[in-house]
Amino acid sequence: MSEAMAKRQQALAHTLGLGPVVAVVVVERLADAVPMARALVAGGVRAIEVTLRTPVALDAMRAIAAEVEGAHVGAGTVITPADFAAAERAGARFAVSPGATATLVAAAADSALPWLPGVATASEAMAALERGHRHLKLFPAEAAGGTALLRGLHGPLPGLRFCPTGGITPASAGNYLALPNVACVGGSWLTPADRMAAGDWPRIEALAREASALRPR
């Protein structure tokens, strides 16, 4: 593993260790970005993955990085090489992808951003490990096999650490966190679309507080 890759893996370990849940958010209105992020941080959730699914996503990351103390903002749904450069310019501190194509692997190697590639099978996890990626996103977690899959992967691939994302709820998160190869989980339930639309930041703070208190079951 190169020195640069080792440093990126260390940075990912830090990000995934900030709390039991990484907030996975969709920002539709730029004006919501800062108050949403402040609510999450106030509730104890510092790692915030802003998905690149809306026209304002990059500007939202830029605003959070500049204005929200304590926020550790990253880019989600990174699916093209250009996304890496755009996310880095916007102040992202990490990048997350739903998969790991050869094109993305090459782009990630050229980027300074720590990258969390998505996998859904043992073969995909092994391929990522061969390239030095020890921290992976299991996606879509529930559909791919959930905790049973992760338990099965731990035996032959004990050096991998996962952030399972997709279909996880507050009720099921503890089951994932109890596994030795799970660092944290990705949670989209912290910022419900209706609460975002209503600007209900106290409710989002409360959801973040509940998430930050999650423990293994």
pLDDT digits (tens, 9 = 90+) for 71-101: 999 999 999 999 999 999 999 999 999 999 9
Tell me the mean pLDDT in the region 30-46.
98
Kindly report the average pLDDT of the chain as a whole number.
97
What is the C-alpha separation between 16 and 47, in angstroms, rounded? Answer: 8
**Cβ count within 10 A of residue 34:** 16
Please name the fold of domain 3-212.
Answer: TIM Barrel (3.20.20)
Please tell me the predicted confidence (pLDDT) of residue 32.
98
Grade residue 46 by pLDDT with cuts at 50, 70 and 90.
very high
Say which of 88, 137, 205, 210 is annotated catalytic: 137
Nearest 5 degrees, angle CA 138-CA 212-CA 88? 55
What percent of the chain has pLDDT above 90?
99
Tell me the mean pLDDT in the region 12-34.
98
- Domain spans of the chain? 3-212
Say which of 28, 49, 142, 210 is annotated catalytic: 49
Contacts of 59 (CB under 8 A, 6+ apart): 30, 33, 90
pLDDT of 23 strictly over 90: yes
**Cβ count within 10 A of residue 36:** 28
Tell me the mean pLDDT in the region 169-174.
98
Helix, strand, coil % over all residues of the chain, rounded to 5: 50, 15, 35
Please tell me the predicted confidence (pLDDT) of residue 113.
97
Please tell me the predicted confidence (pLDDT) of residue 134.
97
What is the C-alpha separation between 173 and 112, in angstroms, rounded? Answer: 31
Please tell me the predicted confidence (pLDDT) of residue 211.
98
| pTM for this prediction | 0.97
pLDDT of 102 strictly over 90: yes
Amino acid symbol at 128: A
pLDDT tens digit sequence for 117-141: 999 999 999 999 999 999 999 999 9
Nearest alpha-carbon partner for 76 in 39, 50, 56, 103: 50
Please tell me the predicted confidence (pLDDT) of residue 1.
79
Phi and psi angles of residue 48, each rounded to the nearest 5 degrees, phi first: -125, 115
What does the radius of gyration of the chain's CA atoms come to, in whole angstroms? 16
Please tell me the predicted confidence (pLDDT) of residue 156.
98
What percent of the chain has pLDDT above 70?
100
Please tell me the predicted confidence (pLDDT) of residue 217.
86
Element (H, E) at 152: helix 146-154
Tell me the mean pLDDT in the region 17-24.
98
137 is catalytic: yes
